[in-house]
Amino acid sequence: MSGSVFGKNIAVSTWGESHGKALGVVIDGFPAGMELEEADIQKYLDRRKPGTSAATTTRKEDDQVEILSGIFEGKTTGTPISLLVKNTSQRSADYSEISAYYRPGHADFGFDQKYGFRDYRGGGRSSGRETIGRVASGALCLKLLSQMGIEVCAYTKAIGDVEIDYSKFDKNAIYSTPTAMPDADADKKAMDLIMKCREETDSIGGIIEVRITGVPAGIGEPVFDKLDASFAKAIMSIGAVKAVEIGDGTKVARYKGSENNDEFSISEEGNVIKNTNHSGGILGGMSDGSEIILRAYVKPTPSIAREQSTVNRSGEKISINIKGRHDPVVVPRAVVVVESMCAITLLDLMISNMSSRADYITSFYTDRK
Amino acid sequence: MSGSVFGKNIAVSTWGESHGKALGVVIDGFPAGMELEEADIQKYLDRRKPGTSAATTTRKEDDQVEILSGIFEGKTTGTPISLLVKNTSQRSADYSEISAYYRPGHADFGFDQKYGFRDYRGGGRSSGRETIGRVASGALCLKLLSQMGIEVCAYTKAIGDVEIDYSKFDKNAIYSTPTAMPDADADKKAMDLIMKCREETDSIGGIIEVRITGVPAGIGEPVFDKLDASFAKAIMSIGAVKAVEIGDGTKVARYKGSENNDEFSISEEGNVIKNTNHSGGILGGMSDGSEIILRAYVKPTPSIAREQSTVNRSGEKISINIKGRHDPVVVPRAVVVVESMCAITLLDLMISNMSSRADYITSFYTDRK
Amino acid sequence: MSGSVFGKNIAVSTWGESHGKALGVVIDGFPAGMELEEADIQKYLDRRKPGTSAATTTRKEDDQVEILSGIFEGKTTGTPISLLVKNTSQRSADYSEISAYYRPGHADFGFDQKYGFRDYRGGGRSSGRETIGRVASGALCLKLLSQMGIEVCAYTKAIGDVEIDYSKFDKNAIYSTPTAMPDADADKKAMDLIMKCREETDSIGGIIEVRITGVPAGIGEPVFDKLDASFAKAIMSIGAVKAVEIGDGTKVARYKGSENNDEFSISEEGNVIKNTNHSGGILGGMSDGSEIILRAYVKPTPSIAREQSTVNRSGEKISINIKGRHDPVVVPRAVVVVESMCAITLLDLMISNMSSRADYITSFYTDRK
Amino acid sequence: MSGSVFGKNIAVSTWGESHGKALGVVIDGFPAGMELEEADIQKYLDRRKPGTSAATTTRKEDDQVEILSGIFEGKTTGTPISLLVKNTSQRSADYSEISAYYRPGHADFGFDQKYGFRDYRGGGRSSGRETIGRVASGALCLKLLSQMGIEVCAYTKAIGDVEIDYSKFDKNAIYSTPTAMPDADADKKAMDLIMKCREETDSIGGIIEVRITGVPAGIGEPVFDKLDASFAKAIMSIGAVKAVEIGDGTKVARYKGSENNDEFSISEEGNVIKNTNHSGGILGGMSDGSEIILRAYVKPTPSIAREQSTVNRSGEKISINIKGRHDPVVVPRAVVVVESMCAITLLDLMISNMSSRADYITSFYTDRK
């Protein structure tokens, strides 16, 4: 069953393995007429590129995107956009050993059980490199969303027990700190923690937060394709994410109704607003006009350079020590992936919403005649 | 855009509003030959029925299911199964007032923004009664899963700050306590808390936990249709859920890799097992053979019988006091809804998995010739 | 695998068997705000109702539609519309015999092979009564299309070798002649042919033609979801249809390019028009602004009251004589089914088209702010 | 709306324009473990390659396929297979003139109306080169089908008024004659006709027939996703096809029931067979165990090197004369495209069929434990 295609109106079909010839994506259904050049995409890919700081693997991956189709005279044509990134620095030799056993915390065992064998080089399809196609697609959606005044902003909220201080929130820091934290002080502490983990041949988890502004009320479909449900799937489909929450999230389990309800009010401009935002901008599966707030909880990198017990394909218990160049924390590089998945999801549901009323459809066709 | 159809192989299409003539579901793609009678479904609907204890609304809803199609000589035929529950005790008069304003914590504003108007009677399509179709569908899937030795068991883990004690875990209590807690002592404490909330014209949230046993490794599609991502969407699509987690969930953000990784081992029977289960039975989006563990965090009922500020459709600030018969907590009745959504999701992905290998397909057709 | 759900934006989920309690459909994704009452649907169902002339079965089927959800204060709400028609005059006793053997020209053998058994009463799910849900759904789509000046008009073009004479085309005759022919003279000749077939315990085939006016150019998606390809699936999915053609259809195989090409020109109003319409209003999978012309070739009713050879479920050759009240020709009653399927297909693709350009999306959201 | 993705279980996502950098396809959901190398695909691409005879354009297109992902150690891995063909011999200069006007018989006008502009070089996305991705995908499906004893064989049945003589049917001739006719005599006559058309700066249409053997009964979903309906969409989605028929097709409109019904019988081996095959191997939307027979009616190439009237983008009537290297007939090169689309469609529905019975699912999982 196809499981690498995402989206209803815009269908994002990613492909590629860690050590194959290339990775990429086909984006079908993206609307015509948006200006697009490779640089629009490259800047997002650069945010997930490793080797830029001590927080990441020392592997060098250039990840230069190439547009193969769907653009003419600098604009999207409405037909499928094919994007490709060549694999250049893969060293398959590093991974030959892992073919024989199941790495703890990895998908190896599942792949073997499902498919009978697996491309074990660098994790194959389960590698984080799979997200290249997501980020490239996200770049397009983010550009179109921004033309509607919608901003999707993801950042690192925490690494281990180091959390950002919102009073020091500096958006620029997201793009300049190695941790993608919007708080330079927290970034420094987090880097200390990361360095300590690396020394101890260990890794660490963290939290990614997303804030989306400018979304009109009513986006999302009321039952199964709720906005929050769709975000949940999109975000949980990213490799290391183990929990997703909207607004006050897990905390609501202890709330009383009087604490959790956001009262509606009227802004000075006469718009319906909410006095608080426990809901995280989503009520009944539809945007409520407030800022949308989501969080992804990310597990520590499972590849750690210390002895672990496991079993091999022959069913024997063995002791292993995974070599290779691994990120001590995946959070900073995953920030742009979360941002991308949110953008694809949101744009897809905004398109769905365009046919929510009969008069939207009739006026679309009759006004143009 | 259609948003009330769920599932790829089995398509569940729910319909109905709180105060319409009836609610129901069409289940398309359910396999032929499973014995099914109304009682198989009714027992699950009875678990979500209100009026059974002080923890729920005093509304009486009989919710008798009727099978309209898809069954012949006591067995599913492979064609669409249409299930219907008539609305019998709805008092529309109760709700006339709320047509004019936006209830805090509800979808009213979103519905008006999206569709231009809304069926305000009892929340219309956003009512919890919408879940009748989910539970009826879940009943079928749970029955088929049980024939493969798979058990999906949901229960209340917490209400407010009252949590169950796992050392007192008693599965029967799930079905006999008013809170659906598997711990009779916690149930008593939780009921005290619920009664206190009701007295204070307030409501309370809670946590639903699901454990799924018997799932073979390899279920789930590696990229977008991961098992955990699919569960996340399924569960987050239930009205009051604000967070979903798998295994150790939010806690992994503070873990080190060495704490989070589950080492593989070999059981006495020679099977690959894990020594721990931080992953909650899912690695890389596929089941890993361990027990699957999920949690849904549920917000308190937004309808509370106390004064709240809000705005009306004319854009005026007003003060309201919502009348009607509301649950002080939605968690106990939502347990079976979570169980149902997990069952539908799991069965759907187990069907997808049947074509994961070329020789599964070829042997299916050539062995039967 | 689900196969009874049709449509991407508007998902039509039909259900029901010939002799079950009822048949119906859930229409998900239909836009909000269109006025709708049961009479809007009933008039189309009445067109497929049998027992109205000697051309049809003498079975009496009232086929009264009931709206169960999705309408509030006389308008569609944007949430699923559930429509139900009760089975009232089914005589299961008529069909008990056919359970044991495979009727020539019917799906009996396929059903048994696929599902292991079948609801044999009146053909079960393969009965023409399955189309009730299609016609009911079509009624909604036809209403919305008409509000955009789009008319979908199907009629009988031929029964056996009796063809209509276009010079006598009278649209009213479609709805008043027993054959649904728009030519009263041809109708009389066709009725003679039908009566002769009935006397000879035989049946006859025919051709249904559809003309769609008012469709703007550019509807349809260029590659797989072409407008003509989508129509082809929609029409071929109707029971007895064995061929579908667009415009000059099968004739193009003998054409030269200079005969087949339609030259573009400019109308007096300054619009791009075509001087001829060999293409049937569709070029490259998109509407070209001309009238859309389609044809469905319908086989004769397979149930005939004369001796036929076949085999039974035990694998023995037997001789049968199918009793029951069968239509000597299915064409007249299928006309409204073809019309309905075209309407659903067209509206679905017109919604898809609303997001074909980036500025359609951005202006939809920014103009309303 | 996405319209370049085809299939439910196996999702084929094609991309690329006539004069872009490359064309290709991503095949998601193809099962793991099938041996695959580029040569398996190349042999099918070579069948659609132009420049091999006087019946085709003199353009030289190498169309060498490259596998970019989804294969490991010579086998499909179950993850997306990305295939790419570089455009090498495109001369964009040839086409600069056509940017300003609408070619008769082409999609130019529709593209402009839909998207606001178009990639006019060689027809852009509407070029026949778009089918490269279809043929590459078909190659994989054909290989897997053949491992189940299923053969899909397409060939040219007619070009203009030259039809094959079935008594001279020679399968090898399909692959060796320039017309892809299985009758060398007919091929010669057809070549004469084609040469005459070319001399007269004209083009000619034709008929492609497909025969599929070895398909077990019961494949196809009874209502909307009927086997014949799915084939109809698949085939009609190919550029120049204007009609599709199954079995006796259009002829059934004149048949009586007694002529059209195929009586069932028992073969010497004890299998249920049909004495005739008017149905073309499909009854009630499901395969009936007989040979499946389909036909596609293909229009003449619209690009002809003679004067034609049309309009330009400024709305002026003009006279044009299309230059370039065009096929005088598209039929021979389209044969392998039809074969491919049938293979993808059939395999997809065969996978769907694997979950048609509850015991297929339960035994799949319980027999392996």
pLDDT tens-digit map of C311-351: 999 999 999 998 777 889 999 999 999 999 999 999 999 99
Residue A228: pLDDT band by 50, 70, 90 thresholds? very high
Which residues, 6+ apart, have CB-to-CB distance to D217 below 8 Å?
Answer: C109, C110, C113, C114, D272, D286, D287, D288, D289
Structure tokens that stand for B115 in this block = 């569709």
Q: Which of A88, A82, A98 is nearest to A50 (CA)?
A: A88
Tell me: pLDDT of D216 over 80.
Answer: yes
Contacts of A36 in chain D (CB under 8 A): none
Tell me: pLDDT of B369 over 60.
Answer: no
DSSP-derived 3-state class of residue D351: helix
Q: Which residue of D has its CA nearest to A349?
A: D1
Q: What is the mean pLDDT of residues D227-239?
A: 98
Which residues, 6+ apart, have CB-to-CB distance to B96 below 8 Å?
Answer: none
Contacts of D5 in chain A (CB under 8 A): 5, 11, 13, 28
> Is D82's CB within 8 Å of A16's CB?
yes
Residues D52/D54/D60/D66 CA torsion (nearest 10 deg)? -30
Identify the H or E element spanning C219. Answer: none
End-to-end CA distance of chain B: 43
Contacts of D29 in chain A (CB under 8 A): 1-4
CA D93 → CA D89, D99, D121, distances in Å? 12, 11, 8
Closest in B23, B115, B121 to C78, CB measured: B115
DSSP-derived 3-state class of residue C325: coil
Tell me: pLDDT of C3 over 80.
Answer: yes
CATH architecture of A5-366: 4-Layer Sandwich (3.60)
Whether chain A has a CB inside 8 Å of the CB on D8: the answer is: yes
Residue A322: pLDDT band by 50, 70, 90 thresholds? confident
% of chain B at pLDDT higher than 70: 94
Closest in C3, C272, C297 to D253, CB measured: C297
Helices (H), C19-152: 38-48, 108-115, 131-146
Q: What is the pLDDT of residue D367?
A: 87
pLDDT in tens, D271-282: 999 999 999 999
> Is A263's CB within 8 Å of B308's CB?
yes
Kindly indicate whether the domain formed by C90-366 is annotated with CATH number 3.60.150.10. Answer: yes
Whether chain B has a CB inside 8 Å of the CB on A223: the answer is: yes
Which residues, 6+ apart, have CB-to-CB distance to C177 below 8 Å?
Answer: C184, C187
Q: What is the DSSP string of A119-184?
A: --GGGGGGSGGGHHHHHHHHHHHHHHHHTTT-EEEEEEEEETTEE--GGG--HHHHHHSTT--S-H
Q: What is the mean pLDDT of residues D8-25?
A: 96
Would the pTM of this model clear 0.80, i.e. be above it? yes
CA dist., res. C50 & res. C69, Å (int): 27
Q: What is the mean pLDDT of residues D105-127?
A: 93
Which of residues C59 and D108 earns the better pLDDT score?
D108
pLDDT in tens, D287-322: 999 999 999 999 999 999 999 999 999 999 999 988
CA dist., res. A106 & res. B288, Å (int): 10
Whether chain B has a CB inside 8 Å of the CB on A209: the answer is: no
Contacts of D2 in chain C (CB under 8 A): 221
Whether chain B has a CB inside 8 Å of the CB on C354: the answer is: no
% of chain D at pLDDT higher than 90: 86
CA dist., res. D350 & res. B131, Å (int): 33
Asked if residues C129 and C122 have their Cβ atoms less than 8 Å apart, the reply is yes
Whether chain B has a CB inside 8 Å of the CB on D272: the answer is: no
CA dist., res. A186 & res. D279, Å (int): 73
- When the pLDDT of each residue in chain A is averaged and rounded to a whole number, the result is 94
Neighbours of B89 (CB within 10 A): 10
Q: Which of D259, D333, D332 is nearest to D63 (CA)?
A: D333
CA dist., res. C301 & res. C127, Å (int): 12
Q: What is the pLDDT of residue D369?
A: 53
- When the pLDDT of each residue in chain B is averaged and rounded to a whole number, the result is 94
> Is B358's CB within 8 Å of D34's CB?
yes
Structure tokens that stand for A358 in this block = 């009969």
Q: Is the dihedral of CA D235, D241, D242, D244 positive or negative?
A: negative
The 3-state secondary structure of chain B reads: CCCCEECCCCEEEEEECCCCCEEEEEEECCCECCECCHHHHHHHHHHHCCCCCCCCCCCCCCCCEEECCCEECCEECCCCEEEEEECCCCCHHHHHHHHHECCCCCCHHHHHHHHCCCCCHHHHHHCHHHHHHHHHHHHHHHHHHHCCCCEEEEEEEEECCEECCHHHCCHHHHHHCCCCCCCHHHHHHHHHHHHHHHHCCCCECEEEEEEEECCCCCCCCCCCCCHHHHHHHHHHCCCCEEEEEECCHHHHHHCEHHHHCCCEEECCCCCEEECCCCCCCEECCEECCCCEEEEEEECCCCCCCCEEEEEECCCCEEEEECCCCCCCCCHHHHHHHHHHHHHHHHHHHHHHHCCCEHHHHHHHHHCCC
Contacts of A253 in chain B (CB under 8 A): 158, 160, 205-207, 297-299
Residue D94: pLDDT band by 50, 70, 90 thresholds? low
Tell me: pLDDT of C191 over 70.
Answer: yes
Q: Which of D87, D90, D89, D106 is nearest to D98 (CA)?
A: D106
Asked if residues B164 and B157 have their Cβ atoms less than 8 Å apart, the reply is yes
Q: Which of B368, B342, B203 is nearest to B282 (CA)?
A: B342
Closest in B110, B203, B349 to A256, CB measured: B203
pLDDT in tens, A202-221: 999 999 999 999 999 999 99
Closest in D222, D251, D317 to C126, CB measured: D222
D90: closest CA of chain A, how far (Å): 15
Contacts of C22 in chain B (CB under 8 A): 68-69, 82
Give the range among A115-124, A149-158, A168-177, A339-348 with minimum mean pLDDT.
A115-124
Contacts of D351 in chain C (CB under 8 A): 1
Identify the H or E element spanning D22. Answer: strand D22-28
Closest in D352, D358, D369 to B144, CB measured: D358
pLDDT in tens, A281-304: 999 999 999 999 999 999 999 999
pLDDT in tens, A52-98: 676 666 666 689 999 999 999 999 999 999 999 999 876 656 567 78
> Is B300's CB within 8 Å of A255's CB?
yes
In one letter, which amino acid is B67? I
pLDDT in tens, D19-76: 999 999 999 999 999 999 999 999 999 998 866 676 666 666 689 999 999 999 999 9
DSSP-derived 3-state class of residue A83: strand
Q: Is the dihedral of CA A307, A310, A315, A316 positive or negative?
A: positive
B residues 10-69 lying closer than 8 A (beta carbon) to A: 14
Residue C99: pLDDT band by 50, 70, 90 thresholds? confident
Residue B58: pLDDT band by 50, 70, 90 thresholds? low
What is the separation of C-alpha D74 from the centre of its chain, rounded to a whole number of angstroms? 27
> Is C110's CB within 8 Å of D309's CB?
no
pLDDT in tens, C129-184: 999 999 999 999 999 999 999 999 999 999 999 999 999 999 999 999 999 999 99
Which residues, 6+ apart, have CB-to-CB distance to A261 below 8 Å?
Answer: A278, B104, B105, B302, B304, B308
CA C358 → CA A31, A302, B25, C215, distances in Å? 5, 41, 36, 22
Domain coordinates in residue numbering, chain D: 5-366
Whether chain D has a CB inside 8 Å of the CB on C74: the answer is: no
CA A348 → CA A217, B122, D3, distances in Å? 15, 30, 14
Closest in A9, A11, A17 to D79, CB measured: A17
Q: What is the pLDDT of residue C95?
A: 67
> Is B2's CB within 8 Å of C16's CB?
no
| Residue in A82, A348, A365 to test binding to C, most C beta-carbons within 10 Å | A365
Q: Which residues pair with B76 in a beta bridge?
A: B71
Whether chain C has a CB inside 8 Å of the CB on B183: the answer is: no
- When the pLDDT of each residue in chain C is averaged and rounded to a whole number, the result is 94
Give the range among B24-38, B313-327, C233-247, C295-309 with minimum mean pLDDT.
B313-327
